[in-house]
């Protein structure tokens, strides 16, 4: 089969449409509308860094300007329309996807057993049963509740106290669920007391889960390689993804497509006839300047973002300060279908402090673009509850 050609312009439009960034988002950002955004994206990554706003909140606000964080808290803790678990990282996931996570629970449990050998070495296995029984008997608990007197560092699982490790194990393996958060601290409970019965009681066969994970990922990416499909939810293995693509290709569920990168190079991927049919009706992207989360779904795969947008982006949190090129936590900035720069900004003394904006090569910062950037800064300051914007004297960098 001769592959279709997806020009870089069309590839960007399709990709941004699938990520809900192509068209204006006019919904309320709460209730059923918020559930629709989460379902459209597939998940939003949760991150603890809060220099300006939490990552998941910024992702949702980028799609719905009326969104405010309490709406997500209500959706999870009251309405039970979303749950927290793992994709490539910790994420908030639509509740209707929960039955598809059964395979991930099983595989994550097996991986944890392989990667956390200190349990066997230090006899922590009994802690799992102890923590599970404690929550069953006394109700929801956080790591602070079950780990009294055991606190250690927070640099990673190797530095957790035994009860915290047990909580993580029980959550990742599906026996516990996150009921809500106190601040950013997870509060766990038995899954059957958190997940609605209609979802926790469903049993889906492994083959159907893999099929769903692949097709759902492709629908949200627009086009992808088998490896990119496997990496989206991280439910299916790379081998399962390759086998699925081969079978779907032979049955014409998917078709090959050559995707043109920002540098003109072509990359063989897969898409569906239905997605290709969307192209003639896709509008041009809105011209609004957008400040995105460093963990925005459109940029999560750094290599793909560089191929598609010509945007090389890395988070420098773990880079020593003297070796950082930009800053500790720098926000990508998009306009239309182009990445136009990166912004070093943070909450400081009740205001939005802008240290620097670095335009991308070839991006001219004229009056209109400056006006658009200023308008976006005002929007995000309002979202974060900040009263003023303070620009450093040398904020506009070469």
Q: Is the pLDDT of residue 269 over 90?
A: yes
Give me the DSSP letters along 207-242: HHHHHHHHHHHHHHHSSB-HHHHHHHHS-S-HHHHH
Q: Output the pLDDT for position 158.
A: 41
Q: Give the residue, 113 or 134, on which the prediction is more confident.
A: 134
Q: What is the DSSP letter of 21?
A: -
Q: Is the pLDDT of residue 47 over 70?
A: yes
What is the percent of the chain where pLDDT is above 90? 82
Mean pLDDT (whole number) for 341-361: 96
**pLDDT, tens only, 288-328:** 999 999 999 999 999 999 999 999 999 998 899 889 999 89
- Predicted TM-score (pTM) of the model is 0.93
Q: Output the pLDDT for position 37.
A: 98
Do 333 and 289 contact (CB within 8 A), yes or no? yes
Q: Which residue is associated with the tokens 């720069």?
A: 341
Q: Output the pLDDT for position 334.
A: 97
Q: Output the pLDDT for position 152.
A: 47
Query: Which residues, other chains included, contact 44 with Cβ-Cβ below 8 Å and sequence gap of 6+?
Result: 38, 55, 56, 59, 60, 91, 92, 297
How many Cβ atoms sit within 10 Å of the Cβ of residue 245?
23
Q: Output the pLDDT for position 122.
A: 62
Q: Output the pLDDT for position 153.
A: 47
Most confident of 29-43, 131-145, 150-164: 29-43
Q: Is the pLDDT of residue 381 over 90?
A: yes
Q: What is the mean pLDDT of the chain?
A: 92
Q: Output the pLDDT for position 282.
A: 96
Mean pLDDT (whole number) for 53-66: 96
Q: Output the pLDDT for position 2.
A: 86
Q: Give the residue, 96 or 117, on which the prediction is more confident.
A: 96
């Amino acid at each position: 089969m001769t592959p279709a050609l997806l020009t870089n312009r069309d590839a960007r439009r399709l990709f941004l449409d699938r990520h809900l960034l192509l068209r204006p988002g006019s919904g309320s950002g709460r209730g059923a509308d918020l559930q629709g955004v989460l379902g459209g994206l597939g998940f939003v990554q949760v991150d603890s860094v809060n220099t300006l706003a939490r990552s998941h909140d910024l992702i949702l606000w980028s799609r719905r300007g009326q969104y405010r964080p309490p709406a997500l808290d209500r959706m999870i803790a009251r309405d039970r329309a979303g749950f927290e678990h793992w994709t490539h990282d910790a994420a908030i996931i639509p509740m209707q996807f929960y039955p598809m996570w059964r395979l991930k629970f099983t595989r994550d449990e097996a991986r944890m057993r392989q990667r956390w050998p200190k349990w066997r070495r230090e006899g922590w296995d009994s802690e799992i049963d102890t923590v599970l029984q404690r929550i069953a008997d006394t109700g929801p608990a956080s790591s602070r509740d079950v780990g009294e007197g055991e606190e250690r560092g927070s640099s990673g699982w190797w530095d957790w106290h035994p009860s915290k490790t047990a909580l993580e194990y029980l959550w990742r393996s599906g026996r516990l669920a996150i009921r809500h958060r106190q601040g950013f601290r997870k509060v766990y409970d038995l899954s059957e007391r958190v997940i609605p019965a209609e979802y926790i009681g469903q049993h889906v066969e492994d083959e159907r889960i893999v099929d769903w994970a692949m097709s759902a990922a492709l629908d949200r990416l627009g086009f992808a390689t088998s490896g990119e499909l496997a990496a989206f939810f991280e439910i299916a293995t790379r081998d399962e993804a390759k086998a699925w693509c081969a079978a779907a290709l032979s049955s014409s569920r998917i078709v090959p497509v050559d995707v043109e990168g920002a540098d003109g190079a072509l990359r063989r991927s897969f898409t569906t006839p239905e997605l290709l049919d969307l192209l003639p009706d896709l509008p041009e992207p809105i011209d609004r300047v957008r400040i995105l989360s460093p963990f925005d779904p459109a940029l999560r795969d750094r290599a793909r973002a560089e191929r598609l947008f010509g945007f090389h982006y890395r988070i420098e949190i773990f880079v020593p300060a003297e070796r950082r090129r930009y800053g500790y936590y720098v926000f990508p900035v998009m306009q239309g279908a182009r990445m136009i720069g990166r912004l070093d900004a943070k909450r400081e003394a009740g205001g939005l402090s802008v240290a620097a904006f670095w335009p991308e090569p070839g991006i001219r910062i004229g009056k209109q673009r400056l006006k658009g950037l200023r308008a976006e800064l005002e929007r995000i300051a309002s979202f974060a509850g900040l009263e003023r914007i303070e620009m450093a004297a040398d904020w506009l960098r070469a």
